[in-house]
Structure 1
Amino acid sequence: MDLTAQRMTAAPESGAGTEAKPRLGDRIDAWLPKIVLAPTFVCALVFIYGYILWTAVLSLTPSRMLPKYEFAGLAQFEALFANERWWLALKNLALFGGTFVLVCLAVGLLLAILLDQKIRGEGLIRSIYLYPMALSFIVTGTAWKWILNPELGIERLLHDGGFENARFDWLIDPEMAIYTVVVAAVWQSSGFVMALFLAGLRGIDDSIIKAAQVDGASMPTIYRRIIIPSLRPVFFSSFMILTHIAVKSFDLVMALTNGGPGFSSDVPATFMYSFAFTRNQIGLGAASAMMMLMIVVAVIVPFMYSELRRPRHG
């Protein structure tokens, strides 16, 4: 009996000092996610951040038709800020971006509230609102170019309907051309914003709304005081996405107005393309591209900081 007890107590002690070696399968399981993600990480590092760095280098050189790696300081940025077309492009970006973001948020929220009333045919209506987002900006720009063409579109339709003095020639009006881009962009993106707001509305606890109704609050008051403030994260996400779309808008402007009439609907993205690829001023185009990046950072980072430092209540 004593011998058996000694063997039983000695067995754990003899194995306590030895550690089990990891099996080959465990090593593969540990390294497989890293191996799978490595190509994506390398491509992002090279083709996103690498080219951002390369653009920053080119903006500090006197490059024209071909890259020329000679340090020129801030000469390209000085030339950029002295260019009146650049300031016009910034003005158009402010008009287009501000109007586009505000109208998309308003339209998307209203459409989401409408669909949240459990109306008949909700699925069909939601699909119709979301359909424009499936189109490319080139298709959207081309379609709206036909619609807004005074010889083919809305103005021609009004004239054929007997309204001979009606005018809707925004597409060829230098003062209004940038707003045609707003119309097309809102038509394409408001459905996506609606989907974000609708998901946020469906995530609100119904008991909160019922409690407010028991207290005598009307539905407009409930939406104004409870529901819409609860959608702050959706507003934040929508704002970030729409701002990014506005700053990098290129294909929609090129397809709809081509920056015209003249340069009246020029934006920084079309300015950068024009100088870097058609006027053979790569350095100036790179400087404008870096300024576009700084605009995105200047707009989005403060909002991200204010949202991340906001206390969470769970």
Structure 2
Amino acid sequence: MSTPSAAARLDHWLPRLVLAPSFVLSFLFIYGLIAWNGYLSVSASRLLPNYEFVGLQQYEILFQSERWMVALKNLGIFSVLFIGIGMALGLLLAILLDQKIRAEGLLRTIYLYPMALSFIVTGTAWKWILNPGLGLEHLMQQWGFENFRFDWLVDPDMAIYTVVIAGVWQSSGFVMALFLAGLRGIDDSIIKAAQIDGATLPQIYWRIIIPSMRPVFFSTLMVLAHIAIKSFDLVMALTAGGPGFATDVPATFMYTHAFTRGQIGLGAASATVMLATVAAIVVPYLYSELRSQRR
């Protein structure tokens, strides 16, 4: 029985040796820092890390904070509207483009363009557009509509909905692309058979095509939910959490308390809650994907 040559052994181990440093560094800087953050969340850390163990005290303070409850409420409002409107608008745009209309390539590019922008750029642009003294309200009043009011950006009760508007504007084109890919993957023979049976186009989409796109709906839901939970840069650029803390979300709460208020332990606790929320969304998705691949 021949033994492997030195060259064969080198070919076997060389890829592993090349990838090992990046793997070790990624493991340390991702999972190591996650573990460190988890410990800080059960410590007495304030301005600087303090490794005195205090149990769940930081979590008790967190859920007794009015600002944290406002952040959770805002996350719920933003997530439901952002995901719901984004998916509905994206599906509608995908269905319209699926009709083989003229200039489809141009329209698809226009719809996808906002996704090429960062949330910082999107937030800044919509901050100008929705500014009562500079943007849409000012423009309409100059055109003669003096009673026109759209001051949501400075209204504590309505400001969170401006974040929804900006988020939907940026993400709906991306959702459209996902749904359009799903629509184009459906066998045309199914549609032709339904048309022969006398089904109208709305009936075909509602009863045949859309139900067959459940995996696309599920994947889109996971992506948008993940974006909604991490909506830090959009909120900071558009409202900076204001007026007051009316548009705070967990991500901005964590940043404010950990980096500007010297409450590292409280910020770490909020970050751990966010991580658990993301894991609750991503892990079932990964499990279902792996399960489907095995099947």
Question: Is residue 76 from structure 1 mapped to residue 71 from structure 2 by the alignment?
Answer: no
Q: Give the aligned residue type for 2:127.
A: K
- Closer, same or farther: CA 283–312 of 1 in aligned 2, 3 Å: closer
Gaps of 5+ in 2: none
Taking only aligned residues, the RMSD between alpha carbons, in angstroms, comes to 1.8
- For residues 17-96 of structure 1, the aligned pairs below 5 Å read 19-96=1-78
Task: Tell me which residue corresponds to 1:3.
Answer: none
Output the amino acid matched with 1:204.
Answer: I
Equivalent AA in structure 2 for residue 57 of structure 1: Y
**Pairing 1:285-300 to 2, within 5 Å after superposition:** 285-300=267-282
Deviation of the 1:309 alpha carbon: 6.0
TM-score, normalised to structure 2's length?
Answer: 0.95
Which residue does the alignment assign to 1:100?
82
| Alignment CA distance shift 1:43-1:231 (3 Å) | farther
Which residue number corresponds to residue 282 of structure 1?
264
Judge which range, 39-48 or 239-248, deviates more. Answer: 39-48
CA distance in 2, matches of 1:311, 1:33: 26
Q: Which residue in 2 is equivalent to 1:169?
A: 151
Aligned pairs for 1:84-163 (under 5 A) are 84-163=66-145
* Counterpart mapping for 1:209-288 below 5 A: 209-288=191-270
- Deviation at 1:20? 2.3
Runs of 5+ unmatched residues, structure 1: 1-18
- Residue 78 of structure 1 and its aligned partner are, at CA, apart by 0.7
User: After superposition, what is the alpha-carbon deviation per residue over 1:228-268, rounded to whole angstroms, capped at 9, x for unaligned?
Assistant: 11111111111111111110111110110010101110000
Mapped to 2, the partners of 1:196 and 1:20 lie a distance apart of 52
* Rg larger for: 1
Q: Percent identical across equivalent pairs?
A: 70
In structure 2, how many angstroms separate the alpha carbons of the residues matched to 1:253 and 1:108? 22
Number of corresponding residues = 295
Cα shift readout 1:118-162 (whole Å, capped 9, x = no counterpart): 111111111111111111111111000000000111101110111
TM-score where L is the length of structure 1: 0.89
The corresponding residue for 2:171 is 189
Q: Tell me the distance in 1 between the aligned counterparts of 2:293 and 2:27.
A: 33
